[in-house]
Amino acid sequence: MKDHQNIINNIKRYVPLDENDEKQFSSIVRTTKVKRRQFIVQPNFVCSHQTYVVKGAFRSYFVNDDGIDHTIQFAIEDWFISDFNSYINQTPASLFVEALEYSIVQQISFGDVEELCGKNPKFERFFRLVAQKSFAYSQRRVLSNLGKSAEERYLEFQELYPSIVQRVPQYALASYLGMSAEFLSKIRKRLASKS
Amino acid sequence: MKDHQNIINNIKRYVPLDENDEKQFSSIVRTTKVKRRQFIVQPNFVCSHQTYVVKGAFRSYFVNDDGIDHTIQFAIEDWFISDFNSYINQTPASLFVEALEYSIVQQISFGDVEELCGKNPKFERFFRLVAQKSFAYSQRRVLSNLGKSAEERYLEFQELYPSIVQRVPQYALASYLGMSAEFLSKIRKRLASKS
DNA sequence: TGTCGATTTTGACATAATTCAAAACAACGT
DNA sequence: ACGTTGTTTTGAATTATGTCAAAATCGACA
């Protein structure tokens, strides 16, 4: 149980864990370093792990037939990231998950997680609560995408995640918000000229 | 355990249930009829139940400040629907959930579900798997919204859910796909004139 | 079965956002 | 510190989609 305290404290925000639970969980965690621009998930390979970010930043994205990429998610410290669809069905991924900076992560494999959930309901519960929260979050995003203009989406994102706006490249943010990089640049210029 | 077989078989697609489990689950299910145009969830009221559709059709939607509505989800036979964000946090809803037809539903309350999950890990597991699947589904939708044109989104939806296209009003479908009702009408006309 | 309200269609026009290509700028590795 | 490569900015031209208002159609139910 060297340095799993971050991820374990994270779990404890949802379910109480005693020392034995912690040990159980700790035994399935593997810590790794990841270089900037390195992929931890790639299309056609099964996404076998969920990745918890100890330090650094990632994005997951899809590249369509025209070579245009669409960012699904960012993850910085204390977030999980993966190609979730590939992970839960253990089928080949369609996304890239790429480090935007030099990062340190902790990974848990699908098999280990399922086994752990089977033998300790606290973890079953934890992963249920996380999945439910993720789903609710994703629905909120669908809503913003539907209802708001490009400028409104940018402002909303900036409001919610100011630290991410600072930290990720503009084109990645644009592709998350569903607009071209050029247009985001124009929006920012317009906003800067006010105020 | 009158007529809970549909919903129970649905659960059994994810976890095996013995007779006792079924009885336990059955005890928290309440069956109700819902008239066309009736709301089962409304903004500002807490969404206290998850609703399983035995027969009929629903949609959940958000109405923004300009009075424009955005459909989050459709549900027909064997689907669950709710304002999930309101449900899991037990906070006031921001969505309407409205019957598109005369419907029969089965409802389970947040309190009962949480209690049941606490005492029977099979249900904890079931709700975890469902939440995970829902999340993966929602991510796929984000992807379509980001990557595809209005026409492509329509074609994709028709491919995936032909029965829903037939069954729901056009304006509701347009608001799900993120386009104006008029534009969807034009897309259909254009498509019809080919082939 | 006819009527009224709700839904869909149509066309003209307005606007948001994209595309492309070039220039300016930043930042990374050696 | 330098050059190279990746990123952001700009402006002009283009396209997808929205808006509005009127007409046509549908469908529930008295």
Give the model confidence (pLDDT) of A63-78 as tens digits.
Answer: 988 889 999 999 999 9
| B38 compared with B1, residue with greater pLDDT | B38
Is the pLDDT at B47 greater than 80, yes or no?
yes
Percent of chain A with pLDDT over 70: 98
For residue B6 the two structure tokens come to 């549909």
B195 pLDDT band, cuts 50/70/90, is low
With contacts defined as CB-CB under 8 Å, which chain B residues touch A70? 143, 146-147
Angle separating helix axes A19-26 and A5-12, nearest 10 degrees: 130
For residue A195, the model assigns a pLDDT of 62
- Determine contact: A74 vs chain B, CB below 8 A: no
The pLDDT of residue B147 is 84
Distance (Å, whole) CA A77 – CA A57: 7
pLDDT of residue A175: 96
> pLDDT at residue A194 above 80?
no
Q: In what order do the strands lie in the sheet with B39-41?
A: B39-41, B96-99, B58-63, B69-75
* pLDDT at residue A140 is higher than 80: yes
**CB of A149 under 7 A from strand C?**
yes
Contact B60, B86 (CB under 8 A): no
Alpha helices in chain A (DSSP H): 5-12, 19-26, 84-89, 110-119, 121-147, 150-160, 162-167, 170-177, 181-193
Confidence at residue B98, expressed as pLDDT on a 0 to 100 scale: 95
Mean pLDDT estimate for chain A: 94
Task: Identify the residue among B72, B82, B123, B124 best suited for mutation to test binding to A, counting A beta carbons within 10 A and taking the highest.
Answer: B124
Which residue stretches of A13-120 are H helix?
Answer: 19-26, 84-89, 110-119
Residues in B closer than 8 angstroms to A139, CB to CB, are 72, 84-85, 138
So what's the pLDDT on residue B3? 87
Residue contact B146–A175, C-beta within 8 A: yes
Q: Is B67 on the interface with A (CB under 8 A)?
A: no
Provide the pLDDT for residue B1. 55
Alpha-carbon distance of A26 to A52, in angstroms, equals 13
Query: Closest residue to D18 by CA to C1' distance?
Result: B180
The pLDDT value given to residue B145: 86
What is the per-residue pLDDT for A144?
85
Amino acid at A125: R
**A36 CB and strand C closer than 7 A:** yes
Average pLDDT over residues B69-91: 95
Asked whether residue B179's C-beta has any atom of DNA/RNA strand D within 7 A, the reply is yes
pLDDT tens, position by position, A7-57: 999 999 999 999 999 999 999 999 999 999 999 999 999 999 999 999 999
Confidence of residue A145 (pLDDT cuts 50, 70, 90): confident
How far is B122 from B128, CA to CA, in rounded Å? 10
User: Is the shortest CB-to-strand distance from A69 to strand C under 7 Å?
Assistant: no
Closest-CA residue of chain B to A137: B85
pLDDT at residue A115 tops 80: yes
Q: What pLDDT does residue A34 have?
A: 93
Tell me the pLDDT tens digit for each residue of B96-143: 999 999 999 999 999 999 999 999 999 999 999 999 999 999 999 998
B187 nearest nt, CA–C1': D17
Q: Compare A193 and B150 and report the one with higher pLDDT.
A: B150
Query: CB of residue A151 closer than 7 A to nucleic acid strand C?
Result: yes
Residues 37-76 of B with CB under 7 A from strand C: none
Q: Which nucleotide is nearest to A168 (CA to C1')?
A: D7
Say which DSSP state A69 is in.
E
Distance A149 CA to C22 C1' (A): 28
Q: What percent of chain A has pLDDT over 90?
A: 91
Q: Does the structure show a pLDDT above 90 at B144? A: no
- Structure confidence at residue A62 (pLDDT): 94
